Homo-oligomer: A and B are copies of this chain.
Amino acid sequence: MPRVATGESSLSRAVRVLEAFTAEEPALSVSEVARRSGLHVATASRIVGQLVEHGLLGRAPDRTVHVGMRMWELASRAAPTRSLRDAAMPFLEDLHAVVGHHAQLAVLDGDEVIFLERLSARDAVVNYSRIAGRLPLHISSSGMVLMAYGPPELVDRVLARPLESRTPATITTPDQLRAALEQVRRQGYALLTGHVHPDAAGIAVPVRNALGEVVAALSVIVPHDARAVSAVPALLAGARGIGRSLG
């Protein structure tokens, strides 16, 4: 198309532009967008201009660009997990009210957990997960549940790459992982203490639909102490409620 052939569709470039925006830096200059997306500044400027026209991006008075309302609207109104979220919300609220701290709903996407919803108390322990945020499967209790009840080849894929370590407590060897998954299946829940953060414990249970398939993980993050495990019954009850609501 230009002097230098690229062999790439113009739609890909637009997606690269959209991918430049993160939770940490939701507002970028055009130059910054160009840098992150690896596009020529003029190209980035043009694409950003078009996306702004369509409302997928928005432009602030200081000329910085951010994800637009329309983008959020299009993605949210027809989100693939809308029915799951709707079914889960009341139970997530109850769980949060009873257990406090963080209550979360997560699903499997690719070989990672993605968090659909999170309710947090103001004085809660630290939590690195965010809504629409991802974590490696072996780092989070939700991920352990999804792995334990997921397709067998999933574990193989996860083990095909080195297990990223975040804290000294992180599972790092295949044997540890397989043993931990076996324990999850035996217990019916996953309890990870200090795997994300030294002072936090994550507890997750599977959410099953009417067919008994595990479609999500319901979890809480609480302080790492002896009472942590007492959240399990509330989690199990919530997961059953969600499953029933899924119809």
Contact = CB atoms under 8 A, between A and B. Distances in A.
Interface of A: 9-12, 14-15, 18-19, 21-23, 26, 47, 50-51, 54, 56, 58, 66-69, 71-82, 89-90, 93, 96-97, 109, 114, 119-122, 130-134
Contacts of A14: 11, 14
Given A11-B10, A11-B54, A93-B93, A74 B76 contact: no
A72 B132 contact: yes
Given A11-B10, A90-B120, A67 B78 contact: yes
A72 B68 contact: no
24 contacts: A10-B10, A11-B11, A11-B51, A12-B54, A14-B14, A15-B56, A21-B77, A69-B81, A69-B114, A72-B75, A72-B79, A72-B81, A72-B132, A73-B114, A75-B76, A75-B132, A76-B131, A76-B132, A77-B131, A77-B133, A89-B120, A90-B121, A90-B122, A93-B119
Number of copies: 2
Contact of A74 (B19, B69, B97): B19
A234 to B, nearest CB: 16
Nearest to A11: B50
A78 B12 contact: no
